[in-house]
């Protein structure tokens, strides 16, 4: 009997997560699933990559196995391993193996953060073989029609040591995400934070202004996610300035002078 997953989240959401489409990404994703093609989603932090996958899992009525990749994530963490307990030794499937056995979407978030040996496991699943080889058990699992491999990463974080190899990247259908256009982002902020259109519009204008400062010692820019956080704080009764300091300026920089400069922009939008 398999022990519970610790790094994966199997989610059958009761209601479809809100997602504001910005193009043909929903149709492309569905066609990829219907034809057994893996999908790569590229985009900055907080632009809606994970929400989109959750939305599509619900739309396609598929279980979703989400893995947050990190430096220590190995192929064995994805595939599984033998464990020893009071009743002896047993095999525990990893989240990737469970998704292949049972069907569904296996979503590897920030896949370039995982160790390089994970690519060896993913390659046979990301081509026409659609197979997963379990070296420890000698099994070769053929992915069912419902299985889909989805990976994401932030191209802005790529460097020589952490990047997706062309031989891996070219096995995927790729989608590039960015922050929504102002009208769409306003609708997202208003819906997600349950705030007025006027407040959402004000925060989106602020977000646009902060993003223009990307070249001023900022590793990241104000994401849609952070704008939603700020809207929720303001809606809860916090002053706009305090909310923007806690939800926008401080998360974007550790440098006090940079934070002060960001707050100068905030003050221009919330007089």
- Chain segment 256-268, per-residue pLDDT in tens: 999 999 999 999 9
Tell me how far apart the alpha carbons of residues 268 and 261 are, in angstroms, rounded to a whole number.
11
The answer to whether 186 and 200 are in contact (CB under 8 A) is: yes
In a shared domain, residues 254 and 200: yes
Given 118, 153, 176, the domain boundary residue is: 176
Q: How many CB atoms lie within 10 A of CB 179?
A: 23
**How many domains, the chain?**
2
Given 176, 195, 226, the domain boundary residue is: 176
Tell me how far apart the alpha carbons of residues 200 and 202 are, in angstroms, rounded to a whole number.
5
pTM comes to: 0.85
2 in any annotated domain: no
Radius of gyration for the chain, computed over Cα atoms and rounded to the nearest angstrom:
21
Tell me how far apart the alpha carbons of residues 153 and 166 are, in angstroms, rounded to a whole number.
14
1 in any annotated domain: no
**pLDDT, tens digit (0-9, with 9 covering 90-100), for 29-62:** 999 999 999 999 999 888 999 999 999 999 999 9
Token pair for residue 210?
């902060």
98 in any annotated domain: yes
**pLDDT, tens digit (0-9, with 9 covering 90-100), for 166-201:** 888 899 999 999 999 999 999 999 999 999 999 999
């Amino acid at each position: 009997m398999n022990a519970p997953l610790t790094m994966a989240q199997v989610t059958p959401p009761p209601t479809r997560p809100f997602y504001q489409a910005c193009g043909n990404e929903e149709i492309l994703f569905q066609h990829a699933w219907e034809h057994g093609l893996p999908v790569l989603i590229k985009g900055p932090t907080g632009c809606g990559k994970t929400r989109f996958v959750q939305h599509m899992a619900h739309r396609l009525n598929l279980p979703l196995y989400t893995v947050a990749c990190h430096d220590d994530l190995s192929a064995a963490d994805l595939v599984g391993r033998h464990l020893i307990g009071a009743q002896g030794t047993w095999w525990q499937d990893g989240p990737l193996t469970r998704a292949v056995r049972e069907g569904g979407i296996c979503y590897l978030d920030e896949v370039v953060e995982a160790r390089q040996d994970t690519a060896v496991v993913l390659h046979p699943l990301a081509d026409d073989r659609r197979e997963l080889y379990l070296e420890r058990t000698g099994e070769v699992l053929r992915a069912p029609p419902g299985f889909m491999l989805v990976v994401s990463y932030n191209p802005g974080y790529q460097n020589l040591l952490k990047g997706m190899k062309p031989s891996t990247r070219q096995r995927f259908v790729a989608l590039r995400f960015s922050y929504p256009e102002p009208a769409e982002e306003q609708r997202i902020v208003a819906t997600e934070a349950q705030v007025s259109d006027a407040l959402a519009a004000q925060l989106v204008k602020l977000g646009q202004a902060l993003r223009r400062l990307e070249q001023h010692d900022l590793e990241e820019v104000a994401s849609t996610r952070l704008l939603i956080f700020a809207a929720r704080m303001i809606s809860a009764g916090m002053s706009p300035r305090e909310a923007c300091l806690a939800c926008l300026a401080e998360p974007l920089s550790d440098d006090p002078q940079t934070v002060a400069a960001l707050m100068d922009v905030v003050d221009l939008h919330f007089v």
